Chain A
Amino acid sequence: MSTDPSGQVLPLSRGSWAEVLARHGQGHRFAGLLAAAVPGGTRLTVVLALADRLQGYDRLVPDELARVDSLTAHLPAAAWYERAMTDLHGLRVDGQPSPRPLVLPLPGQVSPPRPGGPAPSPALEPDEHVIGLHVDGPGMFTIPHGPVRSGVTESVEYLLETPGEDISHLHVRVFAKHRGIQSRFSGLGLPDATLLAERVEGVASVAHATAFAQAVESALGVQAPVCAGLSRVLHAELERIANHVDVALRLSEAAGLSVAVSRLGWHKERVLRLVSQLCGNRFGRGVVIPGGVSRLPGLAGEQVVAALTGIADALLADADALMRTPSFLDRLRGTGPLDHGLAARHGALGPIGRGSGFDDDDRRLRPYAGYAQLCPEPVLGQAGDAQARLAVRLGEVRESVRLARAAALALEEHRGEPTSVKLPAEDGRGLGWAEAPHGEVLYDVELRAGTVLRAAPRSASLHNLPLFATTFQGDIFTDFPFVEASFGLPIAGVVL
């Protein structure tokens, strides 16, 4: 196993989950379970969120064994991670309650791709027949919806299993757009790998590049300059505003509020144009690099503040109007409820967790980039329904405007300073995290002589999507578009 002088990843003693479960029992959030092929076996890494940082715990499953006891029995939030682990590494997970394929259904005789391993896998054809369907009882029928959907949406398939109007079970099938991203990272130089991180979940390019870069920086024991941290904040907060406006837009669309849809579309466009004025790309791509940023914003602090104020005045007025539109709120209130207990047990990330009163935000609790200096204010909901999730997002837009302005102004005091530090071409391993609009993104990155040996991204979408199916009550057909929009999870980040 690779050296990790920072102590961000520790080996598990006695090759069992006991230590992880004990720590989780002390109240540390389960943040993910990553897997990578290493010489001699498969390395499983459980990531827990401690009070002030993320901590990884490694366990090696030797190739001759290729099986491991399930974490899911104790920690239901691990279920999708284990299913992905079986798909990509062929590991048998003893006691996994729902061992169906998730990201890559392959016939038994086909070798899995084994990301992290030395050789790229040959082409693999997914075979949906491998998945099978469990049907709960007689009189059930299944309504498939997707993977090609109406409107402009990412591909995902929902299978509604129902005895009538009420939903009995919702299966989410995500494998269709699996791209093999984790394997693709291996062997890339750091600049290329950063560009790839931006494409793991394109609408959160800045968050992914930041989490990746910070993992590299920890692995190599370097720190990005202050001006780079502030630039990362500025871009990340603009990205958050655009994403939250997008969710409000989709909810308005579901409710048929055409004027709101058009107004919100205009605001979103203005935000993306401001981003492109700052860096030449509407998604903030190319800004974040390991060690810092490639360049400072193309507008001076005062100009950013002026542009953002113009956008925010109109946007926030519309947001207020939206939250005062009774016909709209009627559709959101009580829809897609996620109670606080489940949100907390699952470690629900981002606005989905915060809408249910589960308060975890890396920007505040595990500050990175320029956040410690800028002190983000928490925005919390209680009700756990679609309305609460939207209210959290709109509250966060307001706070993001403040943070972006503050970062833009603070940056001016650092103009002329170097925007990045040089990286040693060394070995190392590190974890990096960032609070994306959809919640925490994390990367486990392992470097060999300054290039990527292995990298495993984990998006908030993968972690949160299993909760989606638990939030349906009553009439699924009318609620579905609202629940889906209020979750607002990019599918690209789920299957990678």
Chain B
Amino acid sequence: MPWMFRGLRNGVLTTGYPARPDPYGEAWRGAVRLRGSGVPAPGAARLGCPTGALSEAPDGLRLDRGRCILCGRCVEAAPEALEWQAGAEVAALRRDDLLAPSPGPEDEDLEAVRADLATRVSALGRSVHLRHVDAGSDGSEEWELAALWNPVYDAHRLGIYLTASPRHADVLVVTGAGARGMVAPLLATYEAMPRPRVVMALGTDAISGGLVAPSYALTGGIGAIVPVDVWVPGSPPSPLSILHGLLLALGRLPDRRGGRS
């Protein structure tokens, strides 16, 4: 049996993330960001953002990472105002946390969100089961989610499993821009899950509809269909970004950098 011996050579491939930083993830261009606060708007129109992720306000440029598809056009057009942000850890627990500048301080609110989520996930055992639903993706998000169980990311080592049955699912992972034909099946899956449950919007399409919305056939994000607990931007997000989002929602990120916000 050739496969037995082939298998043995796989052991050393697995990332040390989240216990240790992952070099591929650290170098990943996971987001764009404003260079400082109160960045004077260079004329949002001139930046040519394809998804309307950039807008102008009296106090300067606004960036919505939940709409950004990481095309890099704005960074090229106005390097004085925008830059790439390295790192795969881009997920957020509140939709507003994807906005820059942040619409308000509201740290108490984030604490409340965290506390609520912590109560819910504390009921989960060491093993967590995911149910995935495609609500109108382009197919790339599925590849990046499925990659979590390849030997490089090996989500099993973290007790993260896929389940076919919504009745055994703790986390609902939703991809796609919210195809109207998927609204009822998505709701049915959500309703069939036991409580407590956690919902992830995987990818910019799932967060805001991305570039494929607006469309007669789309809700423009899955937040219009089910309540979302964790938002993972990217078009598609890298597997490490998805893993980060899961661990963030589950409260399982180690505090290796003296506390991340």
Contacts and interface: CB of A to CB of B under 8 A. Distances in A.
Contact of B147 (A180, A183, A269): A269
A495 B188 CA distance: 22
Which of A113, A124, A179, A202 has most B Cβ within 10 Å?
A: A179
Interface in B7-25: 7, 10, 13, 24
A122 interface: yes
Contacts of B135: 155, 177
B143 A154 contact: no
Contact of A266 (B145, B150, B162, B218): B150
Given A152-B146, A260-B3, A280 B29 contact: yes
A456 to B, nearest CB: 15
Nearest to B133: A148
Contact of B150 (A104, A181, A262, A493): A262
Interface residues of A, number: 64
A147 B182 contact: yes
A276 B140 CA distance: 14
Interface residues of B, number: 61
B215 interface: yes
Interface stretch (A3-11, A18-26, A317-325): A317-325
B50 interface: yes
Interface string B130-150: 001111111111111111011
A152 B180 contact: no
Contact of B50 (A124, A126, A147, A192): A192
Nearest to B205: A199
B9 to A, nearest CB: 9
Nearest to A260: B3
Contact of B141 (A147, A202, A325): A202
A354 interface: no
Contact of B152 (A203, A260, A269): A269
Interface stretch (B57-65, B68-76, B103-111, B118-126): B68-76
A281 B235 CA distance: 9
A147 B139 contact: no
A183 B185 contact: no
Contact of A492 (B139, B188, B211): B139
A281 B50 CA distance: 17
A148 B174 CA distance: 11
B176 interface: yes
Contacts of A153: 132, 134, 142
Interface string B85-101: 00000000000000000
B143 A259 contact: no
Contacts of A100: none
Interface string B179-200: 1111001101100000000000
A183 B213 CA distance: 10
Given A192-B211, A205-B140, A260-B3, A178 B150 contact: no
Which of A184, A265, A318 has most B Cβ within 10 Å?
A: A265
Contacts of A104: 217
Interface string B218-240: 10000000000000000110100
B137 A202 contact: yes
A184 B215 contact: yes
A153 B50 CA distance: 28
A21 B13 CA distance: 56
A257 interface: yes
Which of B181, B205, B210, B218 has most A Cβ within 10 Å?
A: B181
Given A126-B217, A203-B139, A266-B150, 19 more contacts: A151-B146, A153-B134, A154-B142, A155-B133, A155-B134, A155-B179, A178-B136, A179-B179, A195-B71, A199-B235, A202-B137, A202-B140, A263-B10, A265-B152, A266-B10, A268-B150, A282-B236, A286-B71, A325-B2
15 contacts: A122-B216, A124-B217, A128-B181, A147-B185, A151-B132, A152-B146, A152-B162, A177-B182, A178-B180, A191-B73, A202-B143, A203-B143, A263-B10, A266-B10, A321-B2
**Considering the complex of A and B, which 6 residue pairs feature the smallest CB-CB distances, nearest first?**
A265-B150, A202-B140, A202-B138, A150-B164, A180-B217, A180-B215
Interface of A: 104, 113, 120-126, 128, 147-148, 150-155, 175-181, 183-184, 191-192, 195-196, 199-203, 205, 246, 257, 259-260, 262-263, 265-266, 268-269, 272-273, 276, 280-283, 285-286, 318, 321, 324-325, 490-493
Interface of B: 2-4, 6-7, 10, 13, 24, 28-29, 48, 50, 69-73, 132-147, 149-152, 162, 164, 176-177, 179-182, 185-186, 188-189, 205, 210-212, 214-218, 235-236, 238
